[in-house]
Structure 1
Amino acid sequence: MPRYDFRCRACGSTFEVSRPMSASGDPATCPEGHDDTVRLLSTVSMTGGAQAPRSGGGGGCCGGGCCSS
């Protein structure tokens, strides 16, 4: 289940809420009981061994020909 980060405007605490994606926009109450919260934009960092696909030749800005050296 996805986790969403929230910050309380009243006390400044940051907290996570696990909920289905269909409820991602629902309001959240902070652990201190305040209702004035805002959902934060979270960033995801992924690392791994995946590589960008290689072009089949020609290359360049438009697939070859126009950017010849």
Structure 2
Amino acid sequence: MPRYEFRCRACGDTFEVNRPMREASAPASCPAGHDDTVKLLSTVSVGGGRGDTQPRSGGCCGGGCGCG
């Protein structure tokens, strides 16, 4: 289940809410009970399993110039 981060404008508290994606836009109350909250943008890094997608041999031009 996705986790969304919110900040309360009243008290400045930052908190997380786990909810289904279909409820991503729904408002959330802060743990102190304030309703004036805003959803924060998050950056997510998703890896494909291989740390490096660049070729290991051949350098920039296939190895013909000796740069790699």
Deviation at 1:28, TM superposition (A): 0.2
Q: TM-score, normalised by structure 2?
A: 0.69
**Structure 2 CA distance for aligned equivalents of residues 45 and 8 of structure 1:** 25
Listed as ranges, the gaps of 5+ residues in structure 1 are: 55-69
Deviations 1:19-56, CA, capped at 9 Å, x for gaps: 000000000000000000000001113454254377xx
Match of 2:8 in 1: 8
Describe how 1:46-57 pairs up with structure 2 within 5 A: 46-47=46-47, 48-52=49-53
Match of 1:34 in 2: 34
Count of equivalent residues: 54
Superposed CA RMSD in Å reads 1.9
Match of 1:43 in 2: 43
Q: TM-score, normalised by structure 1?
A: 0.68
**Structure 1 CA distance for aligned equivalents of residues 38 and 20 of structure 2:** 17
**Structure 2 CA distance for aligned equivalents of residues 5 and 21 of structure 1:** 13
Secondary structure of the 2:15 match is strand
